[in-house]
Amino acid sequence: MNRYSELSQMEMSKRGRIEVICGSMFSGKTEELIRRLKRAKFARQKVEIFKPTIDTRYSEEEVVSHDSNHILSTPIETSASILLLATDVDVVGIDEAQFLDADLPAVCNELARRGTRVIVAGLDMDFKTNPFGPMPALMALADEVTKVHAICVRCGNLAYVSHRLVEGEKQVLLGEKTEYEPLCRECYYAALAEREKAEE
């Protein structure tokens, strides 16, 4: 490799970027986030991982996938904390981004401007199919968006949304398989019709 190619490769490696991994619950978002972060660590890159303090389902200090893969993280209250804690790092990972505040896109943009690779995972829609938190803005800003899919538990097609199985209108309700199920578009609207009929 000639000197020009080496310099070009070095310059490219320092270019910041934003990668978003989105989809419904049980689609493998966190699994993919962990895979990318572990690969960066294997390449001896300096990695910092963050998650909202609200997410305590499996662990208070680890990002944990539904398949029990895990990686140590720093719980944060606000996205502004990331700028303070992620100085001099190559890669920043953020899980459950939908629970963070509206400043997260600006924070990710600033990190990318500094030359940091930012990998964000989160739900793109809530249980009512509304865009969730800062995720839509992040997807618009991202260099790369990967939409992953769960399998609909009713028909086996690709899932579209996380259907809530319990009562409640609050947008944020932490839960697992007893509270949510991944459904395709057709089965989701069929489930809504079933619920409306039962309430009559």
> What does pLDDT average to in each consecutive run of 10 residues of the chain (200 residues)?
48 78 93 94 94 65 47 87 92 95 97 97 94 96 97 96 79 65 96 85
Q: What is the pLDDT of residue 116?
A: 97
Q: What is the pLDDT of residue 59?
A: 47
CA atoms within 13 Å, Cβ hemisphere of 40: 22
Q: What is the pLDDT of residue 27?
A: 93
Query: How open is the CA angle 134-139-143, to the nearest 5 degrees?
Result: 135
Place of tokens 């662990």: 59
Tokens matching residue 34: 């962990």
Give the Cα separation of 120 and 95 in Å (integer): 6
- List active site positions: 96
CA atoms within 13 Å, Cβ hemisphere of 183: 19
In the chain, what are the domains?
16-149 (3.40.50.300)
Q: What is the pLDDT of residue 55?
A: 62
Task: Give percent helix, percent strand, percent coil of the chain, each to the nearest 5.
Answer: 35, 25, 40
Backbone angles phi, psi at 59, to 5 degrees: -160, 145
Q: What is the pLDDT of residue 170?
A: 65
